[in-house]
Structure 1
């Protein structure tokens, strides 16, 4: 593996990390990978573990989250005939689980962070701390919305997910794409590297090759258009740019226009099924 980039944790610790390129899979790997990852999530500003709605940036995030949940559920409905069981891995504060349940799914959620589970509980959503709590279950739908990049022991995690999936089940995986224009533009400041919380950084080739080992196949790839703007906004803040709203809008727009031709969006949703 070759050194691809040196960057740092801009949001919590300020510590430095390296990204190494696995050329066979075409993916990046964060090095070193801390044994105690929990401390890198211990921040009041780690928004996916909170329901903060105080600052303008927080309100924007919450609005996009609500809109995105609706679009994700619509996407799921387009892939199935009848709503049955759904597992959401990395459920955060439980909003997607709550909405999926309201749509008629029998839903379970996994969230290892105690603070996020507590916030979910206040909404009436009970989440499990680990996959082992539901190891005897099978699910029609399994979702990981910007979660796979966080999980240690990548191959073991995919094997566990495959074992939990029904024979005709569908797996939805959303991850950032380090091949996007905004990733290239921001370099070490690209917020979606988010080291060391993001242990793996995927390309489309990497996702296909990794899941192929488990009899799974990508049947469709969908762009996440808002991600280019949100990631650009954070990246501009990391650069210390006072005009971050203005610049982020144009870089996000530029990235999406470029991706219309290259098909390399800031983030992708992979729709995955078991091979026949």
Structure 2
């Protein structure tokens, strides 16, 4: 049974309208309504599966972030890009607190945390998915928990990261507040989310893979992330693009758009459109996915 929201999950405004109807091409083939908040401009899936009922929507082979072993060419490419991105992420967080303490919320199989640990970081992770958490624990022993509540109350971190995780969290406001309690004063909260105002989002429309309903509960852009900054009393210090995402999202979107074309053709088209999307972005916040660096006041 779907749960219907009467208020915006971010700003709690009751002023919102139906925006569009998007199909879950990856799993259920069901359609879901996106609403748009008139106050903060957040798009959110409404109604949506409850936290207890959303599990089956994640149970499909192509949900790569919960897998260590590649089972297809697309998954192999995803993992090669992921391995490159992990090294870039470690280099990125070193700008803020080299060899400090790091919490990765939604750490998946723990690859990023393990790489950071090898570079001297003190690490911890949160991963609700049992399969992914089991794999992460093999790399990181007891450093990975299933919920934020399992952390010790006095556990504080220099950097907390949520790479493509914020859009999955049911209790958005409550969870972010809990996360911030574990962030040191002047510590950094680093969030990566897809951007529904990007060129590839507008090009693919309802077939844009990063809608990813109902797994993506929220759909952000620069305006709604500004509201996020204000609501949680943070300071936005920087915005960085995730340029590889436009290619990967375009590849998935091509499959949703027309599965009759050959895989080789879809790869070529996705590379062309991914490049076009990156070229069309006039500022970091306009790419297919963006990293927002917030500092706690």
TM-score (norm 1): 0.95
Q: Deviation of residue 229 (structure 1)?
A: 0.3
- Cross-structure match for 1:11: 26
User: Do structure 1's residue 108 and structure 2's residue 124 form an aligned pair?
Assistant: yes
- Paired positions, count: 274
Please point out which of 134, 139, 158 is paired with 2:157. Answer: 139
Flag the 1:122–1:134 CA change in 2: closer, same or farther, 3 A. closer
Q: Deviation of residue 168 (structure 1)?
A: 1.9
Please point out which of 81, 104, 108 is paired with 1:88. Answer: 104
Q: Deviation of residue 113 (structure 1)?
A: 0.4
- Cross-structure match for 2:62: 45
Please point out which of 41, 45, 49 is paired with 1:34. Answer: 49
Flag the 1:164–1:188 CA change in 2: closer, same or farther, 3 A. same
- Cross-structure match for 1:123: 139
Cα RMSD (Å) of the superposition?
1.5
For structure 2, which runs of at least 5 residues remain unmatched after alignment?
A: 1-15
1:225–1:266 contact (8 Å) kept in structure 2: yes
Please point out which of 73, 94, 97 is paired with 1:56. Answer: 73
Q: Give me the whole-angstrom Cα distance separating, in 2, the residues matched to 1:268 and 1:262.
A: 7
1:208–1:217 contact (8 Å) kept in structure 2: no
- Cross-structure match for 2:36: 21
User: Do structure 1's residue 73 and structure 2's residue 80 form an aligned pair?
Assistant: no
2:196–2:288 contact (8 Å) kept in structure 1: yes
1:146–1:175 contact (8 Å) kept in structure 2: yes
- Runs of 4+ in structure 1 displaced over 6 angstroms? none
More off after superposition, 240-249 vs 98-107 = 240-249
2:284–2:290 contact (8 Å) kept in structure 1: no
Q: Deviation of residue 54 (structure 1)?
A: 2.9
- SS of 1:207's equivalent in the other structure is helix
Q: Deviation of residue 34 (structure 1)?
A: 0.6
More off after superposition, 37-46 vs 185-194 = 37-46
Flag the 1:245–1:33 CA change in 2: closer, same or farther, 3 A. same
Q: Give me the whole-angstrom Cα distance separating, in 2, the residues matched to 1:75 and 1:86.
A: 13
Q: Give me the whole-angstrom Cα distance separating, in 1, the residues matched to 2:19 and 2:284.
A: 21
